[in-house]
Amino acid sequence: MNLIEISNKFPDELSATVFFEKIRWGKKPKCSYCESSNIFNRTKDLRLKCKDCFKTFSVTVGTQLEGTKIPLKTWLTAFAIVSDAKKGISALQLQRNVGLSYPTAWAMYHKIRGFMAMENKDLDEFTGVVEMDETYIGGKPRPFNDGSTKIPTNKKTVIPELDERLRELKEAGVHLKRGRGNPAKSDINPKRGRGTSKAKVVGIVERNGNVIAQVMKSITHNELKAMLLKYVEEDDAVLITDEYTGYSRMDRIIEHVKIDHQRLYSYKGINTNTIESFWAIIKRQIIGQHHQVSVKHLPKYVSEAVFKYNNRKDDDMFETLVEHSMLPSAL
């Protein structure tokens, strides 16, 4: 649902509230406390009152949105904006679009990512041709930088021609002040690939189907095997991976084909291009929209990418988010 449809279908808070009530209860509201359908007329603040237990309640009581102070129409607008952005948007962009403070928009977006993660838990087991791979997220290795203008030999960097230009500018009344500099530091010889200290993300994708991905502290054979058994129907699937040793014993539990990326990346349909394409989506989302994410919150960003990939052929992401927001708060 786009923003024009949101504006037309939900012109005020009452219409948004009624929509949430239909999603949660159907045609007739029920008491959030005793589930009675014997309800008084709506009060001025859009709350309902039960004729049996005499408690007042709103549609959000007992749901994932319980306690929210954000108008429900704003939540619907945020659902539409986020679900329509294939590679996500920044919290600052969401802040500008919905008119909230940055901390509120940031927390709101993470809440929405939580709704997305709910669907990822109920995927059917993968069958057919399945690809499995891992990626590493955390920026690109940069040239040595110890946070100062010194080179690794501890000698101060001197560039005579620039010093001369600075003197000329100073005499002309132009003063260039040094900033704080880049606080980021890097090893002299930063490692890439599996030797890196970046966050590790493992993914499994069913060709022409769904994907699942999760952040892992380590990628040993036992952890990769546990993930495979959880999401793949091993008797009805063929696994394709690269030559990483963590996959070396997978042929004991599933039909397994390996491709050596040192020699080639694809051979007559044997490749991991589908999962590699998914990694490209995640990395472009992080680099292009968020620039940097913490390891603490990375699983939420991964869940967003998984949710959107799995719903790429459907147009019900907006409705799914609304439905998940009305699920019991205990979930």
69 and 160 assigned to the same domain: no
Q: Identify whether residues 148 and 240 lie together within a single domain.
A: no
pLDDT level of residue 156 (50, 70, 90 thresholds): low
| Residue 170 domain boundaries | 143-190
pLDDT digits (tens, 9 = 90+) for 65-120: 999 999 999 999 999 999 998 888 999 999 999 999 999 999 999 999 999 999 88
Residues 16 and 108 reside in one and the same domain? yes
* 134 and 274 together in one domain: yes
In the structure encoding, which two tokens stand for residue 292, read together?
């940097």
**Residue 30 covered by a domain:** yes
Is the pLDDT reported for residue 139 higher than 70? Answer: no
| pLDDT, tens digit (0-9, with 9 covering 90-100), for 194-239 | 656 789 999 999 999 999 999 999 999 999 999 999 999 999 999 9
Lowest mean pLDDT among 79-83, 153-157, 229-233, 269-273: 153-157
Residue 185 in this model has a pLDDT that exceeds 90: no
Asked if pLDDT for residue 127 goes beyond 50, the answer is yes
In-domain check, residue 56 = yes
Q: Is the pLDDT of residue 277 over 60?
A: yes
pLDDT at 331: 63
Tell me if 89 is assigned to some domain.
Answer: yes
Mean pLDDT, residues 271-283? 94
Final residue of a structural domain among 154, 169, 190: 190
- Whether residue 225 sits in one domain with residue 206: yes
Same domain membership, residue 260 and residue 181: no
Q: What is the pLDDT of residues 294-319, one digit of tens each?
A: 889 999 999 999 999 999 888 789 99
**If 0-12 CB within 10 Å is exposed, 13-18 middle and 19+ buried, where does residue 204 land?**
buried
Same domain, 109 and 200: no
Residues 234 and 287 in one domain: yes
* 330 in a structural domain: no
Query: CATH number, domain at 268?
Result: 3.30.420.10
Q: How many domains does the chain have?
A: 3
| 131 and 175 together in one domain | no
Q: What is the DSSP string of 65-123?
A: TTT--S-HHHHHHHHHHHHH-TT---HHHHHHHHT--HHHHHHHHHHHHHHHHHHHTTP
Q: Are residues 96 and 108 in the same domain?
A: yes
Listed residue (306, 314, 330) closest to 113, CA to CA: 306
Same domain, 128 and 229: yes
Whether 136 and 279 map to the same domain: the answer is: yes
